[in-house]
Chain A
Amino acid sequence: MTDYEPKIIAFLCNWCAYAGADLAGVSRLQYPANLRTVRVMCSGRVDPVFIIKALREGSDGVLVSG
């Protein structure tokens, strides 16, 4: 599986991980482009049902980060 590129939905907290990701972008740190980001106002906003829905509708994995 060398050419397989997974799709991963990332739920990022606006104040923590999203800002971290933003900073990573600003500081030009390189990381793989498999993450599809969903910005939430708090990681507590993420309902378990969202995770199942993400998996059902085409993502191979889910990351919740706050």
Chain B
Amino acid sequence: MTRKLLELAGIGKERLHLAWVSSAEAQRFVEVATSVIESIKMQGPLDRIAHEMSLSACEMTLDSETLRWLVGKEVKITSQGDIYGRQWSVESYESFLDHTLEREYQKNLIYLAIDQGCSSVKDISERIGLDLKRISYLLADLEKTGRIEFRGMEDRKPVFAVL
């Protein structure tokens, strides 16, 4: 999931490697280490100034209750069904998880954009590159959960602020 998020954020999933090495496999560890280093070398240094905003949004997303709950409940819900008695297949659950991951990430980007002074939907869109419709939709969500507020109209544009 973290790799999916890194890909979503434009950092690239290839920056994170996972490997299983047992304690007796020194040779394997050397192979893994060498291949990881080669792969990162090919990608070059990470431009963390350019990615600062997306990294913050990633951190907020991974730290959120919504995703932690969804991940924690996956086995229970896919094997026993949810509290409404609905059955979930692993595929449908994972696709729901992916959608949520994307939505939460975009919401956090919007939140950060507003925090940095982009107050109208158009400013936010220019800052983070999402389309206007999607932003308006997610703004309503952010407003409902009390993270941002509608501050009124300015030059016939709605203005938002973070809480």
Contacts and interface: CB of A to CB of B under 8 A. Distances in A.
Contacts of B22: 16, 20
Contacts, number: 129
Judged by DSSP, the binding face of B is helix
A53 B33 CA distance: 21
Contacts of A62: 15-17
Contacts of B37: 6, 8, 31-32, 34-35
B2 A48 contact: yes
B55 A55 contact: yes
B67 to A, nearest CB: 9
Contact of B41 (A1, A30, A48, A58): A1
Interface size class of B (residues with CB under 8 A): 35 or more
Interface in A42-61: 47-49, 51-53, 55-56, 58-61
A52 B28 contact: no
A66 B53 CA distance: 30
Count class of interface residues, chain A: 35 or more
A61 B18 contact: no
Contacts of A65: 18-21, 29, 32
Contacts of B20: 16-17, 65-66
Interface of A: 1, 4, 6, 8, 10, 15-21, 23-24, 26-27, 29-32, 34-35, 47-49, 51-53, 55-56, 58-66
Interface of B: 1-2, 5, 11, 15-30, 32-34, 36-37, 39-41, 43-46, 48, 51-52, 55-56, 58-59, 62-63
